[in-house]
């Protein structure tokens, strides 16, 4: 059985990839196909997350066991986990986090299942647009975050230093200064 995944980015609007992979291949093989399709190095830690319909993370499939999961939680390792063990139906969503430091990721969806086909190696069958950079300069990233935060504050139209709402009568409530003679 062959799965066809579509891959998009929230950073680059015209970016897309489609990858076909056999359902018995592992998440590690899917990882390598994703990284190859965007020309990323394979020297960083990354993870897949199975998601619900609202892209809320459910299960994590990790490159390495970091020992951070609770003892009653299964640890899924990419190298040991076939896709078919966790993915069964079209529409299944996943997030592939490729940059933990800045939480940058690709959003993936299983678009189609070909039950009568097999595939020896994963293949990228569709490429559109240029992929985002694998890593970003942290100073540049911080500046973008600061600008977005400033825009949000301006959108609220609040002057945090304004005295318009200041009421002197409220100032003394419970904090009256005692007159000591």
- pLDDT band of residue 58 (cuts 50, 70, 90) is very high
The mean pLDDT value for 2-9 works out to 98
- How many helices and strands (H and E) does the chain possess? 4, 8
So what's the pLDDT on residue 106? 97
**Least confident window among 75-84, 115-124, 129-138:** 129-138
Say if residue 86 is in the same domain as residue 14.
Answer: yes
> At which residue do the structure tokens 């896709």 appear?
83
**pLDDT at 134 > cutoff 60:** yes
Range(s) of the domain holding residue 30: 2-128
So what's the pLDDT on residue 126? 98
Say if residue 100 is in the same domain as residue 158.
Answer: no
Q: Quick check: is 12 in a domain? A: yes
So what's the pLDDT on residue 173? 56
State how far the alpha carbon of 132 is from the alpha carbons of 5, 38, 67, 106, 148, in Å: 18, 8, 30, 10, 19
The mean pLDDT value for 160-178 works out to 57
What does DSSP say about strands 16-22 and 76-77: parallel, antiparallel, or unpaired? unpaired
Say if residue 158 is in the same domain as residue 92.
Answer: no
| 74, 54, 14, 148: CA torsion to nearest 10 | -100
So what's the pLDDT on residue 60? 95
Say if residue 14 is in the same domain as residue 96.
Answer: yes
Q: Quick check: is 71 in a domain? A: yes
Average pLDDT of the residues of the chain: 85
The mean pLDDT value for 15-28 works out to 98
So what's the pLDDT on residue 75? 84
Say if residue 30 is in the same domain as residue 113.
Answer: yes
Q: Quick check: is 156 in a domain? A: yes
So what's the pLDDT on residue 164? 59
Residue ranges of alpha helices (H) inside the chain are 27-37, 83-86, 138-156, 168-171
Say if residue 40 is in the same domain as residue 12.
Answer: yes
> Model confidence over 63-115: pLDDT tens digits?
988 776 555 567 899 999 999 999 989 999 999 999 988 889 999 999 999 99
So what's the pLDDT on residue 171? 56
Q: State the Cα–Cα distance between residues 37 and 70, nearest whole angstrom.
A: 34
Say if residue 142 is in the same domain as residue 56.
Answer: no
Tell me the DSSP string of 88-102.
-STT-EEEEEEETTT
Write the CATH number for 31.
3.10.290.30
Torsion-angle region of 174 (φ positive above 0: left; ψ -120 to 50: alpha; else: beta): left
Q: Quick check: is 176 in a domain? A: no
Q: Quick check: is 95 in a domain? A: yes
So what's the pLDDT on residue 64? 87
């Amino acid at each position: 059985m062959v799965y066809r995944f579509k891959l998009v980015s929230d950073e680059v609007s015209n970016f897309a990839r489609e990858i076909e992979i056999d359902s018995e291949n592992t998440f590690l093989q899917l990882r390598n196909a994703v990284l190859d399709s965007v020309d990323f190095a394979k020297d960083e830690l990354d993870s897949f997350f199975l998601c619900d319909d609202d892209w809320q993370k459910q299960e994590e499939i990790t490159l390495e066991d970091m020992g951070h999961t609770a003892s009653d939680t299964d640890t899924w390792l990419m190298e040991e986990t076939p896709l078919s063990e966790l993915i069964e139906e079209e529409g299944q969503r996943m997030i592939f986090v490729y940059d933990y430091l800045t939480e940058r990721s690709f959003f993936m969806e299983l678009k189609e299942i070909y039950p009568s086909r097999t595939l020896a190696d994963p293949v990228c069958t569709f490429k559109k647009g240029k992929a985002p950079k694998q890593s970003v300069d942290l100073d540049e990233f911080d500046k973008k975050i600061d600008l977005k935060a400033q825009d949000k504050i301006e959108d609220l139209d609040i002057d945090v230093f304004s005295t318009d709402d200041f009421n002197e009568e409220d100032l003394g409530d419970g904090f009256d200064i005692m007159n000591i003679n």
